[in-house]
């Protein structure tokens, strides 16, 4: 994981400039052909945030003070620095990261701010133009990745790409155009359920190469993936150990180099075909930092960025691991045997890499090596034809005579004892053979054009015939041995892959059989539950039918009793009708009472 207190700048001449923060003091050193300069103080009482970038001939350093104000320092010669405050913005966060992109008329910065949700920050873009800050714009919400926070790279003058981890724990890429401000779509790269330990990303014109380390409960895995157009490759586990860290991916001489440390040991894996295949994992035995750390690496505009970070040695004042890339002599002296294209001494027949058939053709290699070893017979004949066509004529040509690949014309050359060449084809004996003919005798066209001269030459000198046959036999034997070795290596690789596939298939079959057994058991339990539910429903219906008959009779009796009670109540409550008596009767009754 990157150390935020160390930054490296690769200058146009290929050397490095180092910036580091120590005890709230910002130091810088420059590396030249004479070595490292003395550390110089760039600023004092600074905060924990600073960023470095070079645009044109000017180097810019953006840093914060302890009070939270932003300052920018600029210099053309790394000797005289100009410090200017950027008023209008105050930084209150102590763990903040900036990525600056200076242009002719503005200073663009990418930074992050905390949000209301714990552990989730907001990625923000802002520009400083005409002496004032413009309105900040939120890019996305993301999860800061340890001390690295997020990754950014400048692709061109006003074109950058951002790499960060979203709130769903997915590493994504997003491109941005600064002028005019244009935000690209979010492109997912990798997602895993395990914890990320470290990640390193480098991209070229075709692919985005991703090397990351994940931690399980007891192990750590080093995994590689690449993204090309809209497709993402399957994860490829390169190494597994108890403690892996310091992942770094970079490009060197057209090769993809992957490095990491396992229990403090530096390991390396090389791909010569842009991540399609990899060689074996090697223990790096060259000069490596004793106390390894990673720092952000930025390049000048004129240089192609082949890495986004580099190793530094804490015990040697943060000296970088990747020094001058253009120093060919020093790189060749320090090159390891497995880095060289030539095979090891005493093992001329062995190929340097088992991936011979997966490598891309390299036409420039024939120009460097005069006699390449291990070339098939057909290619060797074509090479001899190329040399024959390209070489100048070693013997003067007689006037009026023309050369042909298929017929030999007379050649005029000084002959001893006053002999002269005839204008017609003559027999060529061993004494009359020229060095040019002896050199070109292995050419395909020369053999077809002069079968008789070659036969006569070999018949007249049987010892030469034996030597030629022995040379051919040795050459064919070496070619056959190399091809056999390649076939054996490919066979071993295929056997290993087949064993892995067989093991995976066996695991899947065992898992499928176990799942089928569990499914069968669940089906049986389901049938039992269905039967028990059906029996319970039948019993419930029977009980309900038995209880329904007496309840109906009781209801009938209850209705009868209720009807009788209603009738009795009506008879008691009904009043008797009043009958009026005649008046004479009323009078009679009155008299009797009196």
pLDDT in tens, 579-588: 455 555 555 4
b/e code 513-549 from CB counts within 10 Å (16+ = b): eeeeeeeeeeeeeeeeeeeeeeeeeeeeeeeeeeeee
pLDDT in tens, 310-321: 999 888 888 888
pLDDT at residue 98, as a whole number: 87
pLDDT at residue 305, as a whole number: 74
Closest Cα partner for 185 from 176, 194, 193?
176
Query: What are the C-alpha distances in Å from 590 to residues 468, 581, 583, 586?
Result: 180, 13, 11, 6
Share of residues in the chain with pLDDT > 70 (%): 68
Indicate the average pLDDT of the chain. Answer: 75
Where in the chain are the domains? 192-284
pLDDT in tens, 335-387: 333 333 344 344 344 433 333 333 333 444 333 333 334 434 334 344 444 33
Q: Which residue has the tokens 């970088």?
A: 320
**The pLDDT of residue 295 is above 50:** yes
Phi/psi at 471 (nearest 5 deg)?
Answer: -60, -45
pLDDT at residue 439, as a whole number: 41
Rounded CA separation 451/441 (Å): 10
pLDDT in tens, 207-234: 999 999 999 888 999 999 999 988 899 9
- Name the CA dihedral angle for 532, 536, 539, 545, rounded to a multiple of 10 degrees: -150
Structure tokens that stand for 195 in this block: 């914890």
**The pLDDT of residue 327 is above 90:** no
Out of 20-34, 65-79, 422-436, 540-554, least confident range? 422-436
Mean pLDDT of 240-244: 92
pLDDT in tens, 466-523: 777 777 888 888 888 888 888 988 888 888 888 889 888 988 999 999 999 999 999 9
Which of the two residues, 291 and 550, has the higher pLDDT score? 291
Rounded CA separation 283/267 (Å): 5
Signed CA dihedral, 474, 477, 478, 479: sign only: positive
pLDDT in tens, 561-578: 777 777 766 655 555 454
Residue 502, exposed/middle/buried by CB under 10 A (0-12, 13-18, 19+)? exposed
Taking CA 359 as the corner, what is the angle to CA 356 and CA 361, rounded to the nearest 5 degrees?
110
SS3 of 579, please?
coil
Do residues 217 and 195 touch, judged by C-beta distance below 8 A? no
pLDDT in tens, 86-124: 888 877 766 788 899 998 889 999 999 888 888 899 999
Which band of pLDDT confidence, cut at 50, 70 and 90, is reported for residue 461? Answer: low
pLDDT at residue 194, as a whole number: 83
Structure tokens that stand for 177 in this block: 């155009």
Q: Is the omega angle on the peptide bond into residue 82 within 30 degrees of 0, that is, cis?
A: no
Cα distance from N-terminal residue to C-terminal residue, the chain: 135
pLDDT in tens, 397-439: 444 444 433 334 444 444 444 444 444 443 434 444 444 444 4
Which band of pLDDT confidence, cut at 50, 70 and 90, is reported for residue 525? Answer: very high
**Element (H or E) spanning 208, and its range?**
strand 208-215
pLDDT at residue 572, as a whole number: 55
**The pLDDT of residue 447 is above 60:** no
pLDDT in tens, 5-24: 899 998 877 778 899 998 88
**The pLDDT of residue 191 is above 80:** yes
Q: Cβ contacts of residue 309 below 8 Å, gap of 6+? A: 2, 200, 248, 294, 295, 296, 297
Do residues 91 and 81 touch, judged by C-beta distance below 8 A? no
Rounded CA separation 121/149 (Å): 10
Out of 62-71, 459-468, 529-538, least confident range? 459-468
Q: Cβ contacts of residue 166 below 8 Å, gap of 6+? A: 140, 141, 142, 143, 172, 186
SS3 string, 247-307, reads EEEEEECCEEEEEEEECCEEEEEEECCCCCCCCCCEECCCCCCCCEEEEEEEECCCCCCCC
**The pLDDT of residue 591 is above 60:** no
Mean pLDDT of 382-395: 40
Out of 231-240, 371-380, 537-546, least confident range? 371-380
Structure tokens that stand for 97 in this block: 């990261």
């Amino acid at each position: 994981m990157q150390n935020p207190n160390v930054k490296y700048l690769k200058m146009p001449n290929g050397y490095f400039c180092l910036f580091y923060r120590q005890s709230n003091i910002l130091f810088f050193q420059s590396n030249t052909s004479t070595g490292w300069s003395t550390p110089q103080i760039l600023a004092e009482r600074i905060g924990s945030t600073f960023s470095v970038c070079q645009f044109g001939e000017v180097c810019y350093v953006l840093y914060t003070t302890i009070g939270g104000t932003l300052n920018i320092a600029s210099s053309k010669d790394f000797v005289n620095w100009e410090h200017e405050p950027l008023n209008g913005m105050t930084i209150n966060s102590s763990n903040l990261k900036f990525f600056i992109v200076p242009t002719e008329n503005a200073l663009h910065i990418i930074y992050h701010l905390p949000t209301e949700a714990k552990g989730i920050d907001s990625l923000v873009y802002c520009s400083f133009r005409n002496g004032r800050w413009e309105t900040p714009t939120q890019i996305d919400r993301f999860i800061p990745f340890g001390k690295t926070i997020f990754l950014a790279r400048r692709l061109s003058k006003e074109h950058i790409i951002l790499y960060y981890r979203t709130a769903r724990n997915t590493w994504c890429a997003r491109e941005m155009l600064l002028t005019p401000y244009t935000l690209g779509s979010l492109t997912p790269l990798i997602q895993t359920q395990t914890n990320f330990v470290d990640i390193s990303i480098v991209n070229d014109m075709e692919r985005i190469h991703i090397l990351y380390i994940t931690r399980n409960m007891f192990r750590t895995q080093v995994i590689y993936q690449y993204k090309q157009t809209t497709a993402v490759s399957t994860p490829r586990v390169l190494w597994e150990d108890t403690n892996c860290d310091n992942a770094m991916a970079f490009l060197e001489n057209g090769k993809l180099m992957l490095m990491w440390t396992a229990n403090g040991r530096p390991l390396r894996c090389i791909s010569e075909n842009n991540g399609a295949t990899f060689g074996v994992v090697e223990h790096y035995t060259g000069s490596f930092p004793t106390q390894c750390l990673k720092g952000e690496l930025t390049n000048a505009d004129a240089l192609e960025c082949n890495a986004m970070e580099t190793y530094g040695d804490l015990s040697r004042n943060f000296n970088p691991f990747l020094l001058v890339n253009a120093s060919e002599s020093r790189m060749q002296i320090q090159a390891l045997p497995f880095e060289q294209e030539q095979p090891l001494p005493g093992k001329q027949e062995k190929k340097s890499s088992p991936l011979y058939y997966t490598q891309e053709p390299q036409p420039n290699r024939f120009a460097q090596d005069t006699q390449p070893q291990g070339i098939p017979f057909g290619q060797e004949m074509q090479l001899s034809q190329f040399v024959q066509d390209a070489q100048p004529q070693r013997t003067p040509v007689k006037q009026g005579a023309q050369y042909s690949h298929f017929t030999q014309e007379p050649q005029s050359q000084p002959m001893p004892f006053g002999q002269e060449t005839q204008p017609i084809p003559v027999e060529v004996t061993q004494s009359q053979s020229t060095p040019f003919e002896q050199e070109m005798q292995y050419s395909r066209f020369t053999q077809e054009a002069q079968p008789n001269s070659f036969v006569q030459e070999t018949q007249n000198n049987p010892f030469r015939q034996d030597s030629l046959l022995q040379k051919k036999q040795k050459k064919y034997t070496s070619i056959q041995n190399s091809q056999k070795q390649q076939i054996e290596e490919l066979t071993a690789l295929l056997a290993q892959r087949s064993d892995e596939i067989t093991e995976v298939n066996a695991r899947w079959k065992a898992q499928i059989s176990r799942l089928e057994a569990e499914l069968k058991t669940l089906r049986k339990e389901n049938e039992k539950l269905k039967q028990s539910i059906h029996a319970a429903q039948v019993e419930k219906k029977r009980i309900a039918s038995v209880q329904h008959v007496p309840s109906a009779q009781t209801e009938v009796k209850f209705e009868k009793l209720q009807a009788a009670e209603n009738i009795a109540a009506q008879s008691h409550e009904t009043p008797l009708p009043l009958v009026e008596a005649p008046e004479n009767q009323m009078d009679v009754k009155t008299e009797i009472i009196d």
